[in-house]
Structures are given as C-alpha cells and as structure tokens.
Structure 1
Amino acid sequence: MLYSLCTAECCIGPETPLFPLKHLHFHTPRWSQVSDVTALAESTQVVILSYMRSGTSFLGKIFDVNTDALYVFEPLWKVCEHIVPSFAKLRFLNGSVVDPGTSCEDIGQSIIRSFLTCNLLNIDQSTLTQFWMAHGRKTIKLLNCIERSSITTCVYRFIEVCRQSNVRILKTIRARLERTLSTLEMLPHVKVIHLVRDPRAIISSRRLMGEYYHRNLLATGSGICGDMRRDIHTFKNLPQEFQGRILQIRYEDLSADPVHMAEFIYSYLRLEMPTNVVTWIKNNTHSKADDGKPLGTLRADSRKTASKWRERISWSTVKSMERACQDVLEDLGYVLTSSEDTLRNLSISLTKERKLLTR
C-alpha cells in the first residue's frame, strides 16, 4: 500500500518523486560510520513532549510545512504500544535481534536520539516502517520507497534526506521530561518544547475518541495528571546545565494567537519562520469548517476549538478532575470552576494570563 499525505497546500503521495534531492550520491556506509554526533553542528534538533489530545499534531505541523525541516510523528508508538507489551524483539537492518526489556523508556530515548542525529541504522525496522511515518512530509517518502524497493536502500537514502534537513524535530506523547534529560545531556544542542493543556480538556477530548469505553475515567484522569505532575516537577527543578533548553507552552495560548506563538517558538529556537508557515497557520485556523478528524489540524476558529470541551464535558467529570488535578491546574495557570454556570459560560476564561516559561 502506498501512502498519501494531504495538507491545505499540497498532496504528497505515491506519484511524488522519492527523495527528490539534487546530486544525491548513494553509498552504503559501515554500521559504525553513523554516530550520535552526525551533522549536529549545522542543524536544529527539537523534541516536542506532551500528552495525548494536547495539540501536538497542530504544533508539529507548524514545523512539518517548513521545507527545511524533517518532522517525525510519534516515533515511539510501535515500541511502546506493541513491541514492549508483547515481549517481542527489535530487529535491525544489520540483522541483529535485541530484547528491548520491560520498559520503553530507555529504548525510546535511543530512538529519539537516533532520529535527531540521522543515526537511522540504530533504529529498529518496526519503528522505521510504522504507519505513523505517513504523517510527515518527508517521512512518508520513506514508507513509499519501501513499498517499491528494499528497506536497506531506502533507509540509506533517507539518511541523506535527514542530514540535509536543517531542522530535525519529533513529537511524542510517550516520553516523560525526566527521562528526556538523558538525551539533553548526550546531545547538548537539543531543545525541548513542553506542550501542556488543561487536563479537563484532555479528558473530554479523549472520551470523544472512545478511549474510555472499557476504562475507569477517574483513574485515567488521575494518570494524566500524574504524568503532568512529574513533568512539572522536573521542569521546576532542572539542573543548571539544562536551563535555557526547555520551553513550556500552553495549548490554549497557541490556539488564541497561533501566528504570534509560532513566531515566538521559532525565535526561541533561533530560526526564521518561513512565510509559507504563516500562510498555513492562517489557512488552518480560520477555515470554513473543521476537518473533523481526530488527528486533523484544520479548524474554523482555533480559539473556539480550544474551549469546545466546556460545552460537552459533564459537570461531575469536571469536579472529579479538579479534585484529582488541583495542583496541576493551579501550577499551569488554569482556573477552577465555582459552578456549572461558570463552566458553560465561555465569556469567562478558565486560563490565567502568564508569561511563557523557559528553564
């Protein structure tokens, strides 16, 4: 099956040339030739770290439409959701077979570092071929190449694509900030964007997707806030050597003024934001209608979209979440509701103004 990726501006699919690079010289390097320091000096490496249903698809797309960027969508999905839980093995292009252990945390950070440094030979085949790779403008071409040629040939070619990308960025909901510090320690040029969202909105959005058909909602909500609580603690107590490398932003602020926030994020990363990114943001936050897709980024009004949860969530769920997550809500600048009328009245903001936080 050949994959297609369509945006408001163009469509990348089977008919798109594979890796259309000028003067691409294909060669087969030895396994040891690709290391964690490959081509770091002239590129920007970023990890978007967040939680399911927190706006990461939209934030990631702000970089994916940048033609200088290589964007990787949820690279830890296969390992964390399938390989580790089923006690399966990781298989690599050199023929080696590795037991990943009982936690995806360590192997997850290795995958993150390998994508950021174009060290793709250190990534298992199941990760390189997972269907989420179809969510990036460049990674989709790797999948389509594999449909037509050998995976080895395609991966070596994609290493060149990676090396020629001035910005390398990935987004994940399957890594926590504390463990990601090991990547910051090993790769001193990497920065993290910690995207947070009101946990009451997160639980409402997840419920719409049917996630709680067989789960206890309160237990899951407590789990969400547990992850956020640990990340907030890590963010507040960063060792000196990591300060200045982590930016914490709220989805609500991004939705309220997406162009300004995007400009700030690009500036924080010391990048110039291309004009086509501005065009994409305007087209996708003020469209005629939402695209209605769970992972879609097309919105009629991004500000209103960020508040829709207040109209559909039950009052009892809100109170349960506020009891379980009060400290998280207060730390991130969200307002507790005093009544159901307050919840439903969208003219009353549940988001306090605050400065953007970096550590």
Structure 2
Amino acid sequence: MGNNTYQIRLIAVACSLSVLCLSGMYFAARFNSMQIGNIHRVLLNGKATTTKSLKTVHQSSQYFEINGTSKSNEKTAMTKILLLTYYRGGSSFLGQIFAQNIEAFYWFEPLDSVDLTMSNDFIRKKDGLYLVDTDYKLLKNNSLGELPEKVIDPRTQTLIKTLTCKATALSQSTLSGKFFRAGQGMPRFRPYMQCLDKTRQHKYKLCAQILEKVCLNSSIVAVKVIRYPMYDVHHLVEIIPDLKVIHYVRDPRGIIMSRSLIHGWSGDNLAKNARYLCLKMAKNMKAFKILQDQNRNNYLLLKYEELAMKTEETIRKIYQFIGHKMPTNLLKWIEQNTKAKTMDWTYGTRRNSKETVFKWRKRIKKIDMKTVTDQCISILKTFDYQI
C-alpha cells in the first residue's frame, strides 16, 4: 500500500512538472510571436494588422513575400555566389546583374563596416589565428584556456552569415553599414529599411528578421566584396562546399587611372599604388587557379572589358555558370543601362559601357602609362591585356 501511495505521488509530481514545462513553452512561443507581431504593426504606422494584410502591402513591390512563402509552389535550391573584385574595377555593373533579378538577393559590400571594426579592435595574427587585442592579452597571460583548432576571422564570419541568410546573426555595425544605406533603392531592402524607420529606435536585430526571411525566400544569394583575398576563400568553401566564385578583373591601368582621379596620385605614389594593386591581383589569381583546379565548375574568371563590350553574351555566360536561366527583364535593363548617356545610380551603373571601357587610355599621361605598365607587366600578361 505504501509503495502504491509513493508511486501515485511521483506521478502527480511528474504531471505537475509537465504542465509547468508546457506552460513555459506556450508563453515563450507567445512572447516570440508578440515580438514578430510588433514588427508587423510598426510597419503599418502602429496599427494592429495581420500577416495577410502586411503581405498585401509588401506585394506592391512584387519582389518578395514576407511570410516566407515562395511565389511558386516548388522552392528551388539556393545558389550562393561570391563576386570577388577590386575597388574602381567596374563591379557596380556586375552587381546590378543580380540586383535586378527579382529571384536574387544581392548583398553589396557587407565587409565595409567589418574592416572598420577590425582596424578599431586591433587584430593580431598569431600562429595563423586571428585574435582581437583582448584575446591576445588573455593568451599571453595563459588565462584564455585552450583555443579551438581554427579561429575564423571576422570577415569570413560575416560572409558565411550573409551567404547563408543569417541576417539576425550579423553585428549591428554590419546591419547599419554603408552597404544598406547605398542599397536603399534596391526593392528587396525596402521592408528592412521601412522597419527601421517605423521602430524609430532603429532596432536592427528585430528588423533583421524581415531581411532574413526575404533572403531565405530567394533562389540566388550573391555577395560582392572588394576587401576579401582569394587565398581565404577556402575557409568559405569548407562551410559552403557548393559556393560559386566569380573573380572579376579589369585592366589594372584602368583601375589605377580611375583611382588616381579621385586620390590625385602621381610619380612615386602612383608607382607604389600600382605595385600594391598588381601584387594583390597576382596573389588572388594564384589562389584562384589552385581552387579552380580542385573544382572547375565552381570558379569563373571574368573581365570587366568582356562584360562591357559583349554585355548580353557575357550575362548569359554568367547565368549558365550559376545554373539559372537569365531573367527576361534583364534584357530590357541591359538596353537601358549600357547605351545611356547619363548616370542615375549612386555608384555609377548607368552609362554607355562601350564608350567607358577604354576611356582611360585617352586620359592617361604617357609617363603614367609607362609607370603603371612597368609595375604590372606580369599580371597584364597573365590576363592577356594589350601592353
């Protein structure tokens, strides 16, 4: 009898705990739902609304559906693309090829704010590990404990998060970076920017949930970087084996000419910057060849001049490389933006591309042409540019 009473009491306690757990799970789910609901409400000027009505508002752009439902019944596998290029290398045009695709999610320079943070935090490299200053001091004092075999640097971490649509895991500095301000005109960023405006306090992490859903609902995620070396791409490939990489290059003399117009380089300063650029391009190309030998289907070398002179043909080549059909609306966009006489985008996409591609040859001084050519002779031959 005593044993039966004891067993009954145990069952009663277990049931009580189960009820408490279920209640906790219920209220946690309700709290999370309320947080998402708050985003929905602030987007409509503080008025309570349903997901359906919010979806109706957002559908006016015809670029996304906030509830995470694909526009088609079957969701295709997401293709992840890294566009690795150079400052003043004509990459704005390349980026727009993906930004104008309503099925693609295009991240524009997400490493801009990361580089600033890295320089401010003073990162040291020890035995192949990237450590922020605080970690380095702890390591010296033997108080850090055992480090993992591999410490991924902040730039690689950010790229993995952007390529896999983990927007809520991004730092606030990235979520508020120049990349988003420059991308305000891109329809797929509008709900995120609207959310920030409506919250007034700019709740980045909360609004990033919207950004994440739009990204996850895309069939293509493309990220353009000018601040990431090709020899670090293998870190990305370890996490994302099917990553597609486009190495986008331009005649270094055209790049240096474009940069010097902004920075006023000449003489030794011009030579130093040309030498640095071409050394960087050579290192990137060496790493690119190694990666390409390992998996030729996932790496594409592309020239700015090729895209500017044979635009439609080259865009078809790009889409064939990533395994997607070229969107029909891109043909109209190509016509409007490669033969235009005026600029209409902050980073200079709209112009007559065929007139622009070799314009630097008419502007560059003979002495500067010789200076840059001498510094870049090896890489000019590698990319088969006219000397």
Aligned to 1:144: 194
Report if the CA contact (8 A) 2:58-2:66 is conserved: no
1:66 aligns with 2:101: yes
Tell me the CA shift for residue 145 of structure 1.
2.0
Distance 1:50 1:24 in 2: 34
Is residue 120 of structure 1 aligned with residue 167 of structure 2? yes
Q: What secondary structure sits across from 2:153 in the alignment?
A: helix
**Could you tell me whether the CA contact under 8 Å between 2:109 and 2:226 is conserved in 1?**
yes
Q: Which residue of 2 aligns with 1:163?
A: 216
Q: Which residue of 2 aligns with 1:262?
A: 315
Once the 2 structures are TM-superposed, how far is the Cα of residue 88 of structure 1 from its aligned partner?
A: 7.5
Deviation at 1:121, TM superposition (A): 2.8
TM-score by length of 2: 0.70
Q: Per the alignment, do residues 99 and 232 of structure 1 end up closer, same or farther by CA in structure 2, a change over 3 Å counting?
A: same
The residue identity in structure 1 corresponding to 2:367 is S
Query: What percent of counterpart residues are identical?
Result: 31
Give the residue type in structure 2 aligned to 1:146. Answer: L
Q: How does 1:187-336 map to 2 (within 5 A)?
A: 187-210=240-263, 212=265, 216-238=269-291, 240-287=293-340, 289-291=341-343, 295-300=347-352, 302-336=353-387
* 2:84/2:245 contact within 8 Å kept: yes
1:218–1:320: 8 Å Cα contact kept in structure 2? Answer: yes
Conserved? CA contact 2:111–2:155, under 8 Å: yes
Match for residue 129 of structure 1?
A: 176
User: Could you tell me how far apart the structure 2 residues matched to 1:59 and 1:330 are?
Assistant: 24
Taking structure 1 as the reference length, the TM-score comes to 0.75
Relative distance call for 1:17 and 1:84 in structure 2 (3 A) is farther
Paired residue for 1:86? 120
Secondary structure at 1:46 match in 2? strand
The within-5 A match list for 1:97-116 is 106-116=153-163
Q: Distance in 2 between matches of 1:116 and 1:130?
A: 17
CA contact (8 A) 1:184 1:191 kept: no
Number of matched pairs: 296
Gaps of 5+ in 2: 1-55, 70-74, 124-131, 137-151
Say whether 1:54 aligns with 2:89: yes
Distance 1:222 1:23, change over 3 A: closer
Residue ranges of structure 1 left out of the alignment (5+ in a row): 1-15, 27-39, 90-97, 337-359
Pick one of 25, 44, 56 that aligns with 2:79. 44
| Cα RMSD after superposing both structures | 2.9
1:184 is aligned to 2:237? yes
State the Cα distance separating 1:235 from its structure 2 match. 1.8
Determine helix, strand or coil for the equivalent of 1:297.
Answer: coil
